[in-house]
Amino acid sequence: MTTHADSDRLRLIRTKVEANQRLSFEDGLYLHNHADLFTLGELANIVRERKNGNVTYYNVNEHLNPTNVCVYRCSFCAFRSDLKGPRAYVMSDEQILERAREATERGCTELHVVGGLHHQKPYEWYLNIIRIIHENFPRLHLKGYTAVEWDWFHRLTGRPTRDILAEFKSVGLGSLPGGGAEIFHPDVRSKICEYKASADDWLRIHQEAHELGLRSNATMLYGHIESPEHRVDHLIRLRELQDRTGGFQTFIPLAFHPDNTRLNHIQKPSGMTDLRVMALSRLMLDNFDHVKAYWIMLGIQTAQVAQSYGADDLDGTVVHEKIYHDAGSDSPQEMTVAEIRRLIEEAGRVPMERDTLYHEVVRGEGPNQWQIGRKLQLATI
Ligand code: SF4
């Protein structure tokens, strides 16, 4: 039952949102636990339209997961394999270049490169992946390796992650994806991914990347063992780093998929939870330009509706996605540009293709005929 105190509290939060004022931890928790979904969506849409007008972005990209062999055993992961597991694979240089060629021929502007931490592969193997793709296909923007992988490269070499990031940048790395953040709070992190990079490591590595001029994204894996407090805490930690560097581009809430994981007793989050987390993220991350509805994880229908709950980006055409399909995602492996544009237009938004760094992409006749246009400025589009 809604009480007077409740409606006073919500009125106060609405006033803050309308005045473009920052919401506190307590505001976030109140919204998460007490606001009805329509009100949350309405408030998130105020921020979404203030920042991005009526536009929804998409990009034309492919994924490359060079190996699924991983030393870690995160309890939510269905992608990893032991070295001698029946599903284990490691792509050769030829296969990697073939994937990059395919992406180029399909008109992709971006290749998203992440994978397992293969303990028998030296540092140079990971570096060489970026180098050979960039040398052969220099127009492809390479968004590569999560903070967990950068931390692994540090463990392999003993070198500071800042130096490693700088070396990768010098051979063609363009930006960092946002994976590996999971849930920052140690009460959760110590249970679901005990060994991999800590929250402080994750945040420090992104700070170093930003200081080197590399933009990055950020994620939050929700819908497993975390509480609302952990979600709000996670968002505020990201907001604090963004205040210092301004280097994050996009936040992507990732819905947990339990199939084939050690947490398969947990139900995957409902569509209502997906929309609640999307809207809450948009409201709390007042210094992030973009919030993405990653259709691979949300499913196409929820991603479409999420455009009214704070999301202004639907990610891309994706192709060859393995990580979430191994965990039971039943969304298709790829969407055509025509399908993405239809999903956006049907939601009453204006589709706009972007490159990784949010420049307009101007297309010619053939898939390969594209040019990078103007930088897309917030609220001037
Ligand atoms: S989530 Fe990443 S680090 Fe964890 S087990 Fe899976 S592949 Fe390895």
Q: What is the mean pLDDT of residues 253-268?
A: 88
For 224-248, write each residue's pLDDT tens digit. Answer: 999 999 999 999 999 999 999 999 9
pLDDT for residue 366: 83
Q: What is the Å distance from ligand 1's center to 380 Cα?
A: 39
Residue 339 lies in a domain: yes
Mean pLDDT lowest for which of 15-29, 86-100, 146-160, 311-325?
311-325
Q: What is the mean pLDDT of residues 212-225?
A: 97
Higher pLDDT, 322 or 336: 336
| 76 annotated to a ligand binding site | yes
Q: What is the mean pLDDT of residues 304-320?
A: 89
Tokens of 30: 């109140």
For 354-373, write each residue's pLDDT tens digit. Answer: 999 999 999 988 888 899 99
DSSP-derived secondary structure letter, 367: T
Q: What is the rounded distance in angstroms from the CA atom of residue 355 to the CA atom of residue 179? A: 19
pLDDT for residue 291: 98
Q: What is the Å distance from ligand 1's center to 72 Cα?
A: 6
Residue 262: other Cβ atoms inside 10 A: 13
When pLDDT is cut at 50, 70 and 90, the band that residue 5 belongs to is low
When pLDDT is cut at 50, 70 and 90, the band that residue 101 belongs to is very high
Percent of the chain with pLDDT over 70: 93
Decide if 191 contacts 183 (C-beta within 8 A).
Answer: no
Q: What is the span of the domain harbouring residue 23?
A: 4-375
Q: What is the rounded distance in angstroms from the CA atom of residue 89 to the CA atom of residue 32? A: 41
Nearest by Cα to 104 from 60, 159, 65: 60
Average pLDDT score, the chain: 93
Q: What is the rounded distance in angstroms from the CA atom of residue 104 to the CA atom of residue 98? A: 10
321: left (phi over 0), alpha (psi -120 to 50) or beta: beta
- Global confidence as pTM: 0.94
pLDDT for residue 90: 98
Q: What is the mean pLDDT of residues 158-166?
A: 98
| 70 annotated to a ligand binding site | yes
Q: What is the rounded distance in angstroms from the CA atom of residue 272 to the CA atom of residue 276? A: 6
Q: What is the rounded distance in angstroms from the CA atom of residue 348 to the CA atom of residue 364? A: 25
Q: What is the Å distance from ligand 1's center to 80 Cα?
A: 6
Residue 220: other Cβ atoms inside 10 A: 22
Which of 82, 152, 193, 201 to probe ligand 1 with, by most ligand atoms within 8 A of CB? 193
Q: What is the rounded distance in angstroms from the CA atom of residue 31 to the CA atom of residue 10? A: 8
Q: What is the rounded distance in angstroms from the CA atom of residue 28 to the CA atom of residue 232? A: 6
- What spatial distance separates the first Cα and last Cα of the chain, rounded to whole Å? 41
For ligand 1, residues with CB inside 6 Å are 70, 72-74, 77, 79-80, 116-117, 148, 193, 196
pLDDT for residue 296: 84
Planar angle of CA 272, 314, 75, nearest 5 degrees:
60
Q: What is the rounded distance in angstroms from the CA atom of residue 96 to the CA atom of residue 84? A: 21
Q: What is the rounded distance in angstroms from the CA atom of residue 108 to the CA atom of residue 100? A: 9
Decide if 286 contacts 23 (C-beta within 8 A).
Answer: yes
Q: What is the mean pLDDT of residues 175-179?
A: 98
Which of 77, 151, 189, 262 to probe ligand 1 with, by most ligand atoms within 8 A of CB? 77
Q: What is the mean pLDDT of residues 157-174?
A: 98
pLDDT for residue 307: 97
> For the chain, what is the domain count?
1
Nearest by Cα to 283 from 304, 311, 254, 247: 311
Tokens of 246: 């301004």
Q: What is the Å distance from ligand 1's center to 183 Cα?
A: 14
When pLDDT is cut at 50, 70 and 90, the band that residue 213 belongs to is very high
Residue 37 lies in a domain: yes
Is the pLDDT confidence value at 380 over 60? no
Q: What is the rounded distance in angstroms from the CA atom of residue 108 to the CA atom of residue 50? A: 29
User: What is the residue with the minimal CA distance to atom 7 of ligand 1?
Assistant: 116
Higher pLDDT, 299 or 69: 69
Give me the CATH number covering residue 170: 3.20.20.70
Is the pLDDT confidence value at 381 over 60? no
Residue 251: other Cβ atoms inside 10 A: 28
When pLDDT is cut at 50, 70 and 90, the band that residue 329 belongs to is low
Residue 299 lies in a domain: yes
For 301-310, write each residue's pLDDT tens digit. Answer: 999 999 999 9
pLDDT for residue 331: 66
pLDDT for residue 377: 73
The closest-lying atom of ligand 1 relative to the alpha carbon of residue 117 is 8
Planar angle of CA 254, 258, 262, nearest 5 degrees:
120
